[in-house]
C-alpha cells in the first residue's frame, strides 16, 4: 500500500473535497493515508485561491516538496483545488517536478491519473468541469466523530467583483436530492447525529428529483429532518439575495435546523455592497434578520466582512461598525481585502494603505469579540442541548461537546454518553469555551 499525504488549504468545501480524495484513493485498495509527508509516496496539495498571494503560497509549498522528490524521484506530486484550476499549466512551468494537476470537479479522476504517471512518468492535467461526476462514484462512509459535512451543490452564479470562486468552481449546479438523502441516511446509520450542508450558495439549491421535478432548498431541509438519527442540521454558506421566505418558514416548523445562521453581509455600506456587486442592500439584509427572529426568536447570526475594499471611506467603514451593532452579530469571519487576479475588483483603484486596513480590521474584530462574549454571558445559567463529541483535550477527566450556537462546553460525565445529546447547565463562561454541569 502506497502512503498518501494530503495537505488542505481553504474552506469547508476544500476539506470536504480532500476527504473525497482520500476515499477515492483508499477505495482502490492501493493507497493509505499518512500524516507524515516525508514518508509519503504520493503528495497531494488541495489549494484555495481566496486569500492574498494564494498562488505564491502554493509555489512555496511545492518548493519544500521538491526537496522530498530530490531524495526520492519516485514520489508523485499532485496539485488540485482552486489554484490548480486557475493557474493550470503555469504550475508546471514554474514547478517542473509536479506530476499531476487536477481541478475541483475532476478530483475523482486522481487514482487513474496516478496510475498513468506510474506507467509513463509524464505530467498530466485535467481541470475540466464535468459537472457532478465526482459525486457519482459509490464511496464508503468514513466516520470521524458524530458530525459530518455533505456537499449539496457546487459553483456560484453571483460573480461578486472580489470573488474568484465562479471561475475556479464553475456555475451553480445542484446534486440530485435523492443522492443527498441517501448519503445522509448512510451517515445516520453509521452514528452521525449532525450534518452540515455545504455549497458556495446553498440557498440557491435546485436539485432534480427521481420523478423529474425540482427540489428547492427549503424542501430539502425538511426531507433531511425526517431522517432517523439526524438530530441537528446546519448549512453554510448562503447569500442574502436568495434567502427567501420559504427558507425562513422552515425555521418555524423544523426544530432540527439549528438556531444559528451564518449569513455573509461583507459590508454595512450600500455604496460598497454595490461596488462588490452583492445585489442587495443593508435594508434588505436587516429585513431578512427581522423575519428570522420572528420565526425563531432565539436565533443567533454570524457573518463575513471584508475590510478596506477599494473605495471604502472612513464613513463607509463606520456604517459597517454601526450595522454590526444594530444586527448584534454573534461571530464573524473578517479579512482585509486582497486583490484576486482575474476578478473585476482587481481593476479598481485601491487607495487605502495597509496600516489603515489593519486598524479598521482590529476595530471591527474588537466589536465582534465583545458581542460574542455578550452572547456567551447570556447563556450563563441556561440549559443547553450538547452533542457530546469526546474526551476534553485539556482535561482527560472531562467530556466536551458543542451547543447549537457553536460553543464548546466542557463538563464531567461518563464516556458512555459520547455520541449522544446531553442536557448541560452552563455555569462558567470563558473566552473560547464554556463550563457546564451534566443534568
Annotated binding-site positions for [4Fe-4S] cluster: 11, 48, 82, 156, 160, 163
Are residues 146 and 196 in contact, defined by beta-carbon separation less than 8 angstroms?
Answer: no
DSSP β-bridge partners for residue 357:
none
Q: What are the C-alpha distances in Å from 276 to residues 83, 314, 343?
A: 22, 17, 11
**SS3 letters for 42-83?**
EEEEEECCCCCCHHHHHHHHHHHHHHHHHHCCCCEEEEEEHH
Are residues 200 and 12 in contact, defined by beta-carbon separation less than 8 angstroms?
Answer: no
Q: What span, in angstroms and rounded, lies between the C-alpha atoms of 141 and 422? A: 25
Are residues 46 and 12 in contact, defined by beta-carbon separation less than 8 angstroms?
Answer: no
DSSP β-bridge partners for residue 261:
301
Are residues 307 and 335 in contact, defined by beta-carbon separation less than 8 angstroms?
Answer: yes
Are residues 98 and 69 in contact, defined by beta-carbon separation less than 8 angstroms?
Answer: no
The 3-state DSSP class for residue 310 equals coil
Angle value at C-alpha 243, between 238 and 246, nearest 5 degrees: 130
**Helix-helix angle 177-189:217-225, to 10 degrees:** 30
Q: What span, in angstroms and rounded, lies between the C-alpha atoms of 264 and 133? A: 29
Instruction: List CB contacts of 7: < 8 A, sequence separation 6 or more.
Output: 37, 43, 44, 45, 46, 61
DSSP element (H, E) containing 357: helix 354-378
Residue 20: count of CB within 10 angstroms of its CB? 20
Are residues 180 and 222 in contact, defined by beta-carbon separation less than 8 angstroms?
Answer: no
The 3-state DSSP class for residue 227 equals coil
The DSSP output letter for 89 is T
**Helix-helix angle 314-327:282-295, to 10 degrees:** 10
Amino acid at each position: 500500500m502506497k502512503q498518501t499525504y494530503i495537505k488542505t488549504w481553504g474552506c469547508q468545501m476544500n476539506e470536504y473535497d480532500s476527504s473525497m480524495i482520500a476515499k477515492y484513493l483508499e477505495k482502490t485498495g492501493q493507497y493509505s493515508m499518512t500524516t507524515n509527508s516525508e514518508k509519503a509516496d504520493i503528495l497531494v496539495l488541495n489549494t484555495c485561491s481566496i486569500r492574498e498571494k494564494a498562488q505564491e503560497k502554493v509555489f512555496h509549498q511545492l518548493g519544500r516538496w521538491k526537496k522530498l522528490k530530490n531524495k526520492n524521484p519516485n514520489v508523485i506530486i499532485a496539485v488540485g483545488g482552486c489554484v490548480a484550476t486557475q493557474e493550470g499549466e503555469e504550475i508546471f512551468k514554474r514547478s517542473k517536478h509536479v506530476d499531476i494537476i487536477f481541478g475541483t470537479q475532476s478530483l475523482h479522476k486522481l487514482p487513474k491519473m496516478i496510475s498513468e504517471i506510474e506507467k509513463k512518468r509524464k505530467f498530466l492535467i485535467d481541470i475540466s468541469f464535468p459537472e457532478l461526476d465526482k459525486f457519482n462514484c459509490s464511496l464508503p462512509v468514513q466516520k470521524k466523530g458524530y458530525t459530518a459535512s455533505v456537499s449539496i451543490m457546487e459553483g456560484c452564479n453571483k460573480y461578486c467583483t472580489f470573488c474568484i470562486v465562479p471561475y475556479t468552481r464553475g456555475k451553480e449546479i445542484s446534486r440530485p436530492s435523492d443522492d443527498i438523502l441517501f448519503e445522509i441516511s448512510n451517515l445516520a446509520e453509521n452514528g452521525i447525529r449532525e450534518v452540515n450542508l455545504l455549497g458556495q450558495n446553498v440557498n440557491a439549491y435546485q436539485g432534480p428529483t427521481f420523478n423529474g421535478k425540482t427540489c428547492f432548498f427549503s424542501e430539502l431541509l425538511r426531507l433531511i429532518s425526517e431522517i432517523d438519527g439526524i438530530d441537528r442540521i446546519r448549512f453554510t454558506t448562503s447569500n442574502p439575495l436568495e434567502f427567501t421566505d420559504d427558507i425562513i418558514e422552515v425555521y418555524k416548523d423544523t426544530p432540527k435546523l439549528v438556531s444559528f445562521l451564518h449569513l455573509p453581509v461583507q459590508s454595512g455600506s450600500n455604496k460598497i455592497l454595490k461596488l462588490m456587486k452583492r445585489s442587495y442592500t443593508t435594508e434588505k439584509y436587516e429585513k431578512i434578520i427581522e423575519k428570522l427572529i420572528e420565526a425563531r426568536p432565539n436565533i443567533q447570526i454570524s457573518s463575513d466582512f471584508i475590510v478596506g475594499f477599494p473605495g471604502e471611506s472612513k464613513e463607509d467603514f463606520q456604517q459597517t461598525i454601526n450595522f454590526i451593532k444594530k444586527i448584534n452579530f454573534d461571530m464573524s469571519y473578517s479579512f482585509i481585502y486582497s486583490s484576486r487576479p482575474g476578478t473585476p475588483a482587481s481593476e479598481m483603484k485601491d487607495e487605502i494603505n495597509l496600516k489603515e486596513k489593519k486598524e479598521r480590521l482590529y476595530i471591527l474584530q474588537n466589536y465582534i469579540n465583545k458581542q460574542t462574549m455578550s452572547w456567551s454571558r447570556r447563556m450563563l445559567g441556561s440549559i443547553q442541548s450538547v452533542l457530546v463529541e469526546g474526551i476534553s483535550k485539556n482535561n482527560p477527566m472531562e467530556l466536551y461537546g458543542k451547543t447549537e450556537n457553536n460553543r464548546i462546553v466542557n463538563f464531567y460525565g461518563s464516556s458512555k454518553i459520547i455520541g449522544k445529546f446531553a442536557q448541560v447547565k452552563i455555569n462558567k463562561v470563558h473566552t473560547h469555551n464554556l463550563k457546564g454541569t451534566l443534568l
